[in-house]
Every structure is written in structure tokens, then in C-alpha cells.
């Protein structure tokens, strides 16, 4: 009993000075955060939604190919994966970014989950990185499912021998593009404290915004829109199709396609730039 | 180590509005300190700066001598804080949510397991330990939040209106938990605008209003200060009491310096002196055989001081 006559809550055995435990390094806290956030994603309806989208795209694609047997598509591995894989994965990356990343940071403010974490001895960048890694992991799982389905479909329609190393190289490039798109998504999400705004802005930018800006830049200003992330997306197919390895020029002299190196450079630039930008915003954001 | 919280010239402006103005406060030692003030006084703003949820316009906040603004990770390592009513990821169970907290704090797995059982038991949530938090009521979530705050058994416990969302039984249980935390080397600092809660569990009280510190003192001193000016006592009788009886018999009792009528059966007496004098007045009133059925302080001493300080700040 203490002075108030209440039973005292005894101190935990094994305490060192201050509290139980020794705060781990920030990078480890980021990994721990990502583990729990990833678990949260895997149990969420949004994950089921993404798997549903993957299943729907895969089912429609396979049904159409099985029914029509288009010679141009199933003649070679490059033709099959150049169309089916590249055609679908771009959409999946954008959907994943919207669904897993659109409200990732804004939601911490709106849903007040941030209050649960931010009073802990953890640096803000650990929370940001943990959430980013979890969103990347969840997106990769859905894209990975699509990739595996297409490998099986490709083996059936084209033959296992037709699946070249380029398909796997393209998958690696998709991971880089996903990292860049998610970085951009997290940057947008860091701008707002309302989940819906984050999701809507990300959706608008990736579904129409960047395309419109690219068209305006090309048409009105006559400048190659190399600084738009979607411009780099063409490079995802290069390991499979082999072309164009050099930049394609339009009649107006606009570089329509990036080179392989340019594509990778833009993706890396976006990943680094948007991640640093988003982090800087999150570091200054207040839980008012 | 003596646990401590210190605000040095801590200020915060939101545009032209000053939420907190040059707060200088040091709370140190093993005790429970109530942080009082009306809505908008700056209590939550202060606690948010102590946990780095918002940033000061000027000044610094220290936990155990470490600046929160310069080294939040070290400063918060020996502090458990519950600010507002946080939400927990809905797909996690309380056990998993506590596991997350424990792992981020670097607790050993065995410690996390044993402490999880202990703190869930403290907040009476053991039977819900493996159900998903998403379906919980606000009160149940707040219990898990309190459990999360206590998990690592920190030296400094900061609670921002911890009874928010709880039913009366839950509020009483939280008071019991806070009382239980007293002693054993802990510093408990909790904000509230429920005065009875503070009187019930605190040793000391900090009062702020409009972003300014009004006073920081022990409850004993607050009581003594007020007793010097007289205490209001509500007296209730079973039947109406005439003015003649009041003037001739009650108002002239030793220790009674004034009176006012609340209604036909109830009066408010001003009693000069401490508990001994009040006890004597009670016996004297009962001896008058006017049908006494109730005799209690109109307000707590803290409530009187609170109202006096807040009101004087308004003028």
C-alpha cells in the first residue's frame, strides 16, 4: 500500500535506469515498424482488393489469350511478356501506390495512429521508412503474384524455354520503378493530414496528371518531359523487347522514349528526391 | 536518478494566438502532479511539446534533464506518454499492439510477454488480449493506450486526460491505477480538468490558464491557503429552517462567520478554521435538533482556488 492506501504497482523486475529495455538503433526500429505495418496491410481489405484486381486482370488476360490464341502474342516469349507483363504491371504499380501509399502518412494524422507511435523513443524517419518498406512489401507481393501467374501462363502458351532472363531483369526494373512511384506517393501523402486528399491527389497525378503535364510540356513548350516519372516507364520493357535501347525521337525532335540508362536515372532520381522530400515534410509536420 | 520534467521558457504560438507563454516549470521527484486548467489553457499543447508531437516557438522541454527537442529518442526512452486518445492499427490485437511498443522500446521478448499480461490485467483487458482492436469501443481502446504507456515501466509517466472516453467505473479504475503508480520512484504528471480526480490522486498541482502558469504548489498548501479565508459548507435539514433559527442559533455558533440561504431546507455556512473547527460546528448544528441530514464542504479547497485564480485571470 502507498500513502493513499492503494496497492502499489510494483516496479518491473530487470529494469535498468529509466525503463525496461534499451532503445534499439533507428534502422532496427524502422524494420520493426515495417514488420507490424506489413502485417496490418496483409490483414486489410485493401490487400484483398489488390489481390482481387490482380486475379481479375490475370483471369481476363488468360481467358482472352486461351480463346483467341493471338499469334502475335504467343509467338515468342518477348512478345508475350512485352504485352501481358508490361501492359499490366504499370497499372498494378499505380494501383498499389494509391492503395498502400496514398494515405500512409496522411492517415497517421487523420486516424490518430501517429499519436500511438510518436510519443515513443523513435525518430520520425524510422516511422516513415518503416511504413514505406511495408507499403513496398505489400505492393511487391501483389505484383509478385501477377508475375508468377504470367510466368505460368507464359510457360503454358509460349513454352518454358521462351522465358528469358530479360523477364527477370524487367521484374528488377519494376521494383525500382515501384520504389520511385511509392516515394512520390509518400511525398504527396506527407503534404496532407487528411487521408482522402492524399489518395485523391496520388490517383489524379498518376492516372491523368503526369500524362497531361507530359503532353503539355511536349506540345506547348517543345521540351522532352524527362522529369516526369511516367516518361521513364517505357524502360521497363527494354530488357524483354530489347528495343529501343537508344532514345526515340518524334518528328518535333522530342525524345519520346528514354534510353535504358536515362530510364533508370529518372527512376533513381525520383526515388531519392521524393523520399528525401517526403521525409523532410514529415519531420516538420506537427500532430496538432 | 530522480525523475524530472522541466519546461524552460516554453512557448507556443499558433499564428497570432498564444497557446503557451514562457512556461518555466520544474517537476521533480517521486510524486503525482496534476496539471490543471480550463479547456484551451495550454495543457495538451504543453504535453505535446514534451513528447515532440509539436514544436515550441521558443524554449525547451526536458525529461530527466535531456532536451526533447535536441534528442527526442533519449529523452523519451524513460518516459511513457499518453497524449489525447490515440488510435491503434485496427488489425492488431492488444497483445500485438503492446508487442509493437515493447519491441520499439527494445524490451526483451520474455519481458514483453510478462509485462503485457501484467498491464492488460491492470487495465482489466485480459480477456480481450487476442481480439482485434478495430472493433473496440473508445473506452476499451483508451485502456489499451494506458497499458501501452505503462508497458516498459518508465520512470516518468505523462497522461493527458486519461479518463477520456471511460465510463464512471473505468474512470475510477484509472484513478486506482494512477494511485498505484505513486511511489516506487515514479513521477506521474497528468492533465485533467476534473478537479475531484486531481484531489483524489495528486500530491501537487500545477494550474495554468491562457497559456500562463498561475501556480505550482502542493495540495496541502492549497488547502492551507484556502482555510485561512474560510470554507463554505453546505448544510441540509429535513424540513425548512426559519430565518430566526438561522440568525439566532446557527449564525452565532463559534467558528461560523457568515451564511446564505440556498433554499428553504439548505444553507451555506462560512466556517473559519480547519477540519477541527468544521467538526465542532457539525456537532453544534446537530445538537440544535433542527433535523440535520447533510453537512459537507461546498467545494474542495482546490476548486475554490481554481475558480478564484481562473476568475481573477479573466478580469
| C-alpha closest to that of B30 among B184, B179, B159, B177 | B184
CB within 8 Å of chain A, chain B residues 171-230:
176-177, 179-185, 201
CB A183 within 8 A of CB A270: yes
| C-alpha closest to that of A93 among A288, A229, A240 | A229
B252 falls in which pLDDT band (50, 70, 90)? confident
Q: Which pLDDT does position B167 carry in this prediction?
A: 84
A22 falls in which pLDDT band (50, 70, 90)? confident
B40 secondary structure, DSSP code: T
CB A133 within 8 A of CB A34: yes
Whether B153 and A11 lie within 8 Å, measured CB to CB: yes
Q: Which pLDDT does position B199 carry in this prediction?
A: 81
Contacts of residue B210, defined as CB under 8 A and 6 or more positions apart, other chains included, come to: B18, B21, B40, B41, B42, B313
Q: Which residue in B73, B174, B182 has the most chain A C-beta atoms within 10 A of its own C-beta, making it the best mutation to test that interface?
A: B73
Tell me which chain A residues have a C-beta less than 8 angstroms from the C-beta of B74: 23, 121
**Looking at the predicted structure, is the pLDDT value of residue B226 above 60?**
no
Compute the average pLDDT of residues A166-194. 93
| Angstrom distance (rounded) from CA A80 to CA A65 | 10
pLDDT digits (tens, 9 = 90+) for A89-116: 989 999 999 999 988 999 899 888 999 9
CB within 8 Å of chain A, chain B residues 57-116:
64, 72-92, 96-97, 100-108, 111, 115
Q: Which of B51, B55, B96 sits opposite A119 (nearest CB)?
A: B51
Q: Which pLDDT does position B185 carry in this prediction?
A: 78
Tell me which chain A residues have a C-beta less than 8 angstroms from the C-beta of B147: none
Q: How far is CA A248 from the centre of its chain?
A: 27
Give DSSP secondary structure letters for A118-175: HTSS--HHHHHHHHHHHHHHHHHHHHHHHHHHHHHHHHHHT-GGG--HHHHHHHHHHH
Please report, for chain B, the start and end positions of each structural domain, with discontinuous segments joined by +.
4-219, 228-314
Q: Which of B73, B104, B182 sits opposite A32 (nearest CB)?
A: B104
Cα-Cα-Cα-Cα dihedral of B200, B202, B204, B209, to 10°?
Answer: -80
Interface confidence, given as ipTM, is 0.84
Detail the DSSP E strand segments found in B132-192: 156-160, 187-192
Compute the average pLDDT of residues A180-192. 93
Fold of the domain spanning B228-314? Alpha-Beta Plaits (3.30.70)
Domain B4-219 in CATH: superfamily? P-loop containing nucleotide triphosphate hydrolases (3.40.50.300)
Q: Which pLDDT does position B179 carry in this prediction?
A: 85
Q: Which pLDDT does position B50 carry in this prediction?
A: 96
| Alpha helices in B29-71, H assignment, sequence order | 43-50
Whether A119 and B183 lie within 8 Å, measured CB to CB: no
B292: which 3 cell numbers? 440535520
Q: What is the pTM of this model?
A: 0.84
Amino acid at each position: 500500500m502507498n500513502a493513499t492506501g492503494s496497492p502499489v504497482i510494483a516496479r518491473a523486475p530487470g529494469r535498468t535506469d529509466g525503463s525496461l529495455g534499451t532503445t534499439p538503433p533507428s534502422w532496427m526500429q524502422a524494420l520493426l515498424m515495417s514488420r507490424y505495418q506489413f502485417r496490418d496491410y496483409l490483414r486489410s481489405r485493401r490487400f484483398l482488393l489488390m489481390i482481387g484486381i490482380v486475379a481479375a486482370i490475370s483471369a481476363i488476360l488468360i481467358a482472352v489469350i486461351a480463346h483467341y490464341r493471338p499469334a502475335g502474342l504467343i509467338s515468342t516469349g518477348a512478345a508475350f511478356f512485352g504485352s501481358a507483363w508490361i501492359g499490366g504491371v504499370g497499372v498494378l504499380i499505380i494501383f498499389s501506390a494509391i492503395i498502400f501509399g496514398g494515405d500512409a502518412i496522411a492517415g497517421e494524422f487523420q486516424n490518430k495512429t501517429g499519436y500511438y507511435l510518436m510519443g515513443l523513443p523513435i525518430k520520425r524517419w524510422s516511422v516513415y521508412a518503416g511504413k514505406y518498406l511495408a507499403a513496398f512489401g505489400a505492393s511487391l507481393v501483389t505484383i509478385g503474384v501477377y508475375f508468377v501467374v504470367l510466368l505460368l501462363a507464359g510457360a503454358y502458351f509460349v513454352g518454358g524455354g521462351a522465358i528469358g532472363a530479360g523477364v527477370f531483369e524487367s521484374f528488377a526494373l519494376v521494383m525500382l520503378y515501384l520504389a520511385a512511384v511509392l516515394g512520390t506517393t509518400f511525398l504527396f501523402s506527407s503534404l496532407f493530414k487528411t487521408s482522402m486528399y492524399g489518395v485523391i491527389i496520388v490517383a489524379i497525378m498518376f492516372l491523368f496528371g503526369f500524362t497531361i503535364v507530359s503532353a503539355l510540356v511536349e506540345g506547348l513548350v517543345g521540351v522532352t518531359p524527362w522529369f516526369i516519372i511516367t516518361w521513364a516507364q517505357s524502360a521497363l520493357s527494354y530488357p524483354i523487347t530489347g528495343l529501343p535501347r537508344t532514345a526515340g525521337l518524334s518528328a518535333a525532335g522530342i525524345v519520346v522514349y528514354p534510353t535504358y540508362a536515362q530510364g533508370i536515372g529518372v527512376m533513381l532520381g525520383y526515388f531519392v528526391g521524393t523520399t528525401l522530400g517526403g521525409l523532410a515534410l514529415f519531420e516538420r509536420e506537427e500532430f496538432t | 536518478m530522480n525523475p524530472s520534467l522541466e519546461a524552460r521558457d516554453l512557448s507556443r504560438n499558433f499564428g497570432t494566438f498564444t497557446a503557451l507563454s514562457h512556461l518555466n516549470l520544474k517537476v521533480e521527484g517521486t510524486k503525482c502532479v496534476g496539471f490543471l486548467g480550463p479547456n484551451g489553457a495550454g495543457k495538451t499543447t504543453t504535453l505535446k511539446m514534451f513528447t515532440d508531437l509539436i514544436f515550441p516557438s521558443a524554449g525547451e522541454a526536458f525529461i530527466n534533464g535531456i532536451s526533447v527537442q535536441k534528442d527526442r529518442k533519449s529523452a523519451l526512452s524513460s518516459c511513457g506518454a499518453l497524449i489525447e486518445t490515440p488510435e491503434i492499427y485496427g488489425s492488431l490485437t492488444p497483445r500485438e499492439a503492446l508487442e509493437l511498443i515493447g519491441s520499439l522500446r527494445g524490451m526483451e521478448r520474455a519481458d514483453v510477454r510478462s509485462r503485457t499480461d501484467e498491464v492488460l490485467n491492470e487495465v482489466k483487458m485480459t480477456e480481450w488480449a487476442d481480439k482485434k482492436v478495430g472493433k473496440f469501443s473508445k473506452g476499451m481502446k483508451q485502456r489499451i493506450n494506458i497499458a501501452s504507456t505503462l508497458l516498459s515501466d518508465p520512470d516518468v509517466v505523462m497522461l493527458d486526460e486519461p479518463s477520456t472516453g471511460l465510463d464512471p467505473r473505468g474512470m475510477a479504475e484509472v484513478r486506482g491505477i494512477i494511485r498505484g503508480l505513486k511511489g516506487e520512484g515514479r513521477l506521474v504528471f497528468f492533465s485533467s480538468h476534473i478537479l475531484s480526480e486531481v484531489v483524489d490522486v495528486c500530491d501537487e498541482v500545477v494550474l495554468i490558464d491562457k497559456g500562463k502558469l498561475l501556480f505550482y504548489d502542493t495540495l496541502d498548501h492549497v488547502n492551507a491557503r484556502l482555510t485561512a479565508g474560510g470554507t463554505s459548507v453546505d448544510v441540509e435539514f429535513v424540513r425548512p429552517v426559519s430565518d430566526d433559527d438561522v440568525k439566532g442559533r446557527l449564525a452565532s455558533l463559534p467558528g461560523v462567520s457568515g451564511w446564505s440561504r440556498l433554499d428553504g431546507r439548505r444553507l451555506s455556512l462560512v466556517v473559519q478554521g480547519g477540519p477541527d473547527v468544521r467538526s465542532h460546528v457539525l456537532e453544534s448544528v446537530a445538537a440544535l435538533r433542527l433535523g440535520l441530514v447533510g453537512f459537507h464542504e461546498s467545494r474542495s479547497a482546490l476548486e475554490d482556488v481554481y475558480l478564484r485564480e481562473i476568475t481573477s485571470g479573466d478580469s
